[in-house]
Amino acid sequence: MRSGLRSTTHVVLTAGKLLALLFVLLVLCAAAYEQIGAWRDGRVLKQVGRSIDIGGRTLNIHCVGEGRPTVVFESARTAPGYVWMPSQRGVSVFSRACWYDRATIGWSDTGPDPGWGDSAARDLHQLLRNADLTPPFVLVGHSFGGYIIRLYNHFYADEVSGMVFVDTALEDADTIEGMPHRDPPRVPRVVIRGLSIVLGRLALMRFISQDPGPPPKEWRPDEWDTLARLRWQRKGLLADAQVGPERATADLMRGIGGLGDMPMIVLTQGRPIRNQASVAARVRNGWIDLQYRFAQTSRRGRQVLVTNSGHGIPEEAPNAVIAAVREVVTTVRHGTRPPI
């Protein structure tokens, strides 16, 4: 009896050791895969832009074109500024156009934790000042970036002359029937930050990233490849952890007021949802209506539906961004709206 018990215990211990060994090997393989991928990316990803010190750390900014007002592009939650390349190229034909990488994204240094929208807006202000860019600016914000440009306008209203919102995040989105709710995590931030660093070093971003497929017609193949590699960077997980739950920044938006006479256009995704269920249709219609009502917070605001794009308008429909920026820039320069 005892001999059988010892035999069973031995088998269990052996199986446990094998599982532990397999786990260690898996971790080592994942870490090696990330290191090799990062090394290959480093050979390809030559910095686009220049690093500007904003007080002990640097942010990357890239500007092209001439003319005022300067147009500044603000990316989505963890998207690199590079996502604006086709939009920037089109805008640079008629005005100075700049995109940048927020802290912990792209070629910028790691930033503070938490990195909510208010800290990002202040970072941007310091960056533009230290880069010797003269206000007022036309600000363009996609998704979470819409929060940031609104906060920038709230803090530095005399520096903003026009705005373009690209399927912007809105603090009242949770009022839409059927919209999924995302509650703040109940895990301490230090744990989330630590897990983000560890999982990033184990190539999680590379494993979960999808094949970007062929480049859209407005993108050159080399640009599309660079954008994909930037999104595979392990810093993306840390940046997401630092931004934290969207509700944290959304709560900052409540009570900052409307946009008065601000010349502004709100671009809203207009591509129909395939196989629309009733709930999906209600969410889409509710989102369009919410964006329309947001456009009315300025007496000179209007909404434009981008019928050939989903949420990823900077990648899918940069020409819509260019057209909206051109209209706002023209309004700022001449105080008139060009014919539609």
Tell me the domain boundaries of the chain. Answer: 52-180+244-334
Nearest CA to 313 among 117, 118, 76? 76
% residues pLDDT > 90 (the chain): 57
Q: How is residue 327 written in tokens?
A: 């209209």
Rounded Cα distance between 193 and 244, Å, is 10
Pairing of strands 58-64, 97-100: antiparallel
The pair of structure tokens assigned to 335 is 């105080």
Q: Which one has a higher pLDDT value, 176 or 222?
A: 222
What is the spatial distance between Cα 239 and Cα 123, in angstroms, rounded to a whole number?
15
Per residue in 49-71, pLDDT (tens digit) is 999 999 999 999 999 999 999 99
* The residue type at 78: T
The verdict on whether omega for the bond into residue 136 sits within 30 degrees of 0, i.e. cis, is yes
pLDDT digits (tens, 9 = 90+) for 1-31: 555 555 665 555 576 666 666 655 554 454 4
Dihedral sign (CA 249, 255, 256, 261): positive
Encode pLDDT of 292-327 as tens digits. Answer: 999 999 999 999 999 999 999 999 999 999 999 999
Reply yes or no on whether the pLDDT at 116 is more than 70: yes
Choose the CATH number for 52-180+244-334 among 3.30.470.30, 3.40.50.1820, 3.40.50.150, 1.10.3980.10: 3.40.50.1820
What number is the average pLDDT over the span 74-101?
97
pLDDT at residue 152 greater than cutoff 90: yes
CA angle, residues 335, 330, 146, in degrees to nearest 5: 100
